Structure 1
Amino acid sequence: MTGPGRGATILSAFAILAVVGLLFAVARTSPGSSDQPLFVAAPVTDGVVGEPPSGAAAGPQADAVADDELGPAASLGVSPDWAREVGGRIGIPPRALVSYAAAAIRLADEQPSCALGWPTLAGIGFVESHHGTFGGTHVEPDGRTAEPIVGIALDGGPGVAAIADSDGGELDGDSVWDRAVGPMQFIPSTWRKWGVDGNGDGVSDVHNLDDVALAAGRYLCADGGDLSDGADWQHAVLTYNRSTEYAAKVLETANGYARASWS
């Protein structure tokens, strides 16, 4: 349970979100509600989430990542050079940054009034799975994690929601309780509603960061809010994870990435 001052802390930090909402533009290669949470705060950990890297390289020799290791970056409108330079500087694996930026670019075309920037998606991606690296896995060039990321059973234990199995164990391997799945930790019933093919490979895959980043973005934009506005941003995050502590962590992380990307 968070303290009574947490909401005020969140709102006081929203000033930078107008910038966060517009940062998708630098990634282009040329100018140009559910009653269940979508995510579960830190579901695959013991509840302790580390701090995002600050100015550290996103893995060894991030600037040496080859174009073919960044998958369909150019076809998704994302500059490989931008992904390498910014990802390496702010501590996001360049392949993961491609997914977040591509989703923000697509949403800017689909729903420009939403004003969702890639730092918000990156903030969620860090909190949920450390950008698809939780447990030692990583995001492959095609956008899939090398190994599946599956959360704990949502069995109503301490600090955990009780969500009975909704997919016969098809996505999460558990036929008794649901578990959050993939690099953005979707609950199976939510993925069934919001799943999307984000990279044009013909498959809607909960383990593919291109797909789940776009699905998460569409969910955040679903209520028609302007996510460069602090109150609308907070509402969007809380619709799928009703935890002010979670929203504050995503905000802190997203703002950190936004600031670092301009340094």
Structure 2
Amino acid sequence: MEADVDRDHSWSSMLAVVAAVLFVGVGIALIASAHVAGSERPAQERIAAVAPEAVSDAVPAGNTSTVPLPVGARAPLVAADPAWTGRTAVATGIPERALRAYASAALTLKAEQPACGLGWNTLAGIGAIESAHGTHSGGRLDDAGYPQPAIRGIPLDGSASAAISDTDGGVWDGDAVWDRAVGPLQFIPSTWQKWGADGDGDGVADPNQIDDAALAAGRYLCAAGEMTSASGWRRAVFSYNHLDSYVDDVAATADAYAARVAG
């Protein structure tokens, strides 16, 4: 993704919609996958956080592509096991509908890009901070995976953010003058044009729908490179939001979720 888009995403994530509570910590949990077999549990490895790397605004070194995977390289969607998501939702406090999206996206990416190493709990950590899993300001996710009411960030008019004029005609964000961050994972429309995904298999890529947003976020993270090391993990999450404090918050939240499942 271009530098200006990354930076704009950071502003929108920071200023538009955040969860009521931010978790701060020093560890990261790297989870191999969310398992389809209900009796299995993710393997956990806790790694002390390293000093923040000097990550450029450009696509990090080691990335082999600056655009989403071509359609032919994408794996079929893989659904998480309902028994696993039900138990894990109780253990973590994550709404089951949101957890299903995170776990299914991680499983799909395990098949699609096995070297990436993205875990369900990383997506859950991002979802918690961006919108409290689609429940920002007392809202909820409906059965179809849409926040009710819809989640819209502030207009990116330059007054409290970078200025981004409308790029979608208001289709996704309801604003035909300025762009706004949209949905449970807070994509701006110009970012979605590049990374939009169809995570629920309905033929539409919609940033307001949590399966779509989770799969798009996963592909975006994997484009930064592998996430199986502390440095790779931090680089990927930093690419989502260019703030070291954001990376630390996601790490602590992801760790907490993994610990509740493993405990």
Report the TM-score, using the length of structure 1 for normalisation.
Answer: 0.73
Relative to structure 1, the CA distance from residue 113 to residue 48 in structure 2 (aligned partners, 3 Å threshold; closer, same or farther) is closer
Q: More helix per residue: 1 or 2?
A: 1
**Counterpart mapping for 1:49-128 below 5 A:** 49-51=20-22, 76-128=78-130
Specify the alignment match of 2:245 in structure 1: 245
1:32-53 CA distances to partner (integer Å, 9 max, x unpaired)? x2321245334434x674146x
Conservation of the 8 A alpha-carbon contact between 1:119 and 1:258: yes
Distance 2:19 2:109 in 1: 31
Q: Root-mean-square deviation (CA), in Å? A: 1.8
What is the deviation of 1:213? 0.0
Is 1:34 aligned with 2:2? yes
What is the deviation of 1:76? 4.0
Equivalent of 1:135, from 113, 137, 140? Answer: 137
Instruction: State the AA in 1 paired with 2:258.
Output: A
Specify the alignment match of 1:12 in structure 2: none
Relative to structure 1, the CA distance from residue 76 to residue 43 in structure 2 (aligned partners, 3 Å threshold; closer, same or farther) is farther
Specify the alignment match of 2:215 in structure 1: 214
Distance 1:170 1:143 in 2: 18
Structure 2: unaligned runs, 5 residues or longer: 24-76
Distance 1:169 1:77 in 2: 31
Instruction: State the AA in 1 paired with 2:218.
Output: G
What is the deviation of 1:216? 0.3
Report the TM-score, using the length of structure 2 for normalisation.
Answer: 0.73
1:141-171 CA distances to partner (integer Å, 9 max, x unpaired)? 222223211001122234x222222222221
Deviates further, 244-253 or 125-134: 244-253
Q: Percent identity?
A: 48
Is 1:181 aligned with 2:182? yes
Relative to structure 1, the CA distance from residue 82 to residue 204 in structure 2 (aligned partners, 3 Å threshold; closer, same or farther) is same
Specify the alignment match of 1:260 in structure 2: 260
What is the deviation of 1:239? 1.7
Relative to structure 1, the CA distance from residue 184 to residue 222 in structure 2 (aligned partners, 3 Å threshold; closer, same or farther) is same
Distance 1:220 1:134 in 2: 23
Distance 2:237 2:114 in 1: 18
Distance 1:130 1:121 in 2: 12
Conservation of the 8 A alpha-carbon contact between 2:19 and 2:130: no
Specify the alignment match of 1:194 in structure 2: 195
**1 or 2 for the larger relative contact order (CA 8 Å, sep ≥6)?**
2
Specify the alignment match of 1:153 in structure 2: 155
